[in-house]
């Protein structure tokens, strides 16, 4: 037991150095995915057939292909496309490709969550708001957004937690989150202390998840109170 604690304390500083990478991949991709996801959801529920078809095809592709394939496609395609336009990407940090891939991936799932939340809204409330003379922006801000947010937020949180657990896939392009760093340390030390390493990683992910869930419940409760 004492030896295990010593091993954990020995490896913990190195693992914590990778924590910002994990949080960056999570936070940035969630922010971008919210914006792009709303655009995709708007296209899905809109009347423009071309926008609906393109967004539907994009969402289907993202949901139907492995995350690793998507990261590799981004990592390979962007430098090729940039080179064809005279842009040198040799000095770009690999984390940029990971952020793009994770944001594109998460936006597809967020889009479906937003779409489901919109469909769940009683359309009679929208019609009532319009009959009171509200324009589209007012209807969105006062009817669609509050109800949609209350309905979508728990699912957005769950999807974000799943994304956090997938950040280790970025190691395929040289971006190491906490788990990727643990695997690297275990390999460099020929497997010595790997059980303690992975237990520590599991506890760190668990604690981050508990913090996210705590604030998610607080926000969801506040949104539901506002709807009461």
At 52, the pLDDT band (50, 70, 90 cuts) reads very high
pLDDT of the residue at 3? 66
Whether residue 47 has pLDDT greater than 90:
no
pLDDT in tens, 174-193: 998 998 888 888 888 777 77
Q: Region 156-161: what's the mean pLDDT?
A: 93
pLDDT in tens, 75-87: 999 999 998 988 8
Q: Region 90-110: what's the mean pLDDT?
A: 94
Does pTM surpass 0.85?
A: yes
Whether residue 35 has pLDDT greater than 90:
yes
CA-nearest of 102, 210, 101, 96 to 157 is 210
Whether residue 173 has pLDDT greater than 70:
yes
Whether residue 223 has pLDDT greater than 80:
no
* Mean pLDDT score across all residues of the chain: 87
At 96, the pLDDT band (50, 70, 90 cuts) reads very high
At 91, the pLDDT band (50, 70, 90 cuts) reads confident
Residue with tokens 């992910």: 205
Whether residue 1 has pLDDT greater than 70:
no
Residue with tokens 């010593």: 6
pLDDT of the residue at 132? 75
Q: Region 191-204: what's the mean pLDDT?
A: 86
DSSP code at position 144: I
Q: How many domains in the chain?
A: 1
pLDDT higher for 120 or 112? 112
pLDDT of the residue at 82? 92
The per-residue b/e assignment along 68-84, b for 16 or more CB within 10 angstroms, e otherwise, is eebbbebbeebbeeeee
Least confident of 48-52, 66-70, 126-130: 126-130
Q: Region 207-226: what's the mean pLDDT?
A: 86
Task: Note down the domain range covering 123.
Answer: 2-227
How buried is 213 (Cβ within 10 angstroms: 0-12 exposed, 13-18 middle, 19+ buried)? Answer: middle
pLDDT of the residue at 228? 52
DSSP secondary structure of the chain: -HHHHHHHHHHHHHHHHTHHHHHHHHHHHHHHHHHHHHHHHHHHHSS-HHHHHHHHHHHHHHHHS-HHHHHHHHHHHHHHHHHHTT---TT--HHHHHHHHHHHHHHHHHHHHHHHHHHHS-HHHHHHHHHTT--HHHHIIIIIHHHHHHHHHHHHHHHHHHHHHTGGGGGGGT---HHHHHHHHHHHTTTTTHHHHHHHHHHHHHHHHHHHHHHHHHHHHHHHHHH-
Distance CA 189, CA 92 (A): 30
Distance CA 116, CA 113 (A): 5
Whether residue 227 has pLDDT greater than 60:
no
Distance CA 42, CA 124 (A): 19
CATH number at residue 127: 1.10.3720.10
């Amino acid at each position: 037991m004492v030896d295990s604690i010593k091993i954990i304390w020995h490896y913990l500083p190195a693992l914590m150095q990778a924590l910002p990478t994990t949080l960056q991949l999570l936070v940035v991709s969630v922010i971008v995915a919210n914006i792009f996801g709303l655009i995709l959801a708007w296209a899905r529920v809109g009347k423009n057939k071309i926008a609906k078809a393109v967004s539907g095809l994009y969402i289907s592709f993202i949901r139907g292909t492995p995350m690793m394939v998507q990261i590799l496609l981004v990592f390979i395609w962007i430098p090729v496309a940039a080179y064809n336009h005279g842009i040198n990407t040799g000095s770009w940090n690999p984390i940029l490709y990971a952020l793009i891939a994770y944001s594109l991936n998460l936006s597809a799932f967020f889009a479906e969550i937003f779409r489901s939340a919109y469909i769940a809204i009683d359309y009679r409330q929208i019609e009532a708001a319009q009959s009171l003379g509200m324009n589209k922006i007012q209807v969105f801000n006062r009817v669609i957004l509050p109800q949609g947010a209350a309905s979508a937020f728990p699912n957005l949180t769950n999807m974000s937690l799943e994304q956090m657990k997938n950040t280790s896939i970025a190691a395929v392009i040289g971006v190491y989150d906490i788990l990727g760093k643990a695997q690297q340390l275990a390999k460099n030390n020929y497997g010595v202390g790997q059980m303690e390493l992975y237990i520590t990683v599991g506890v760190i992910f668990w604690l981050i998840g508990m913090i996210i869930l705590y604030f998610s419940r607080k926000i969801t409760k506040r949104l539901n109170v506002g709807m009461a």
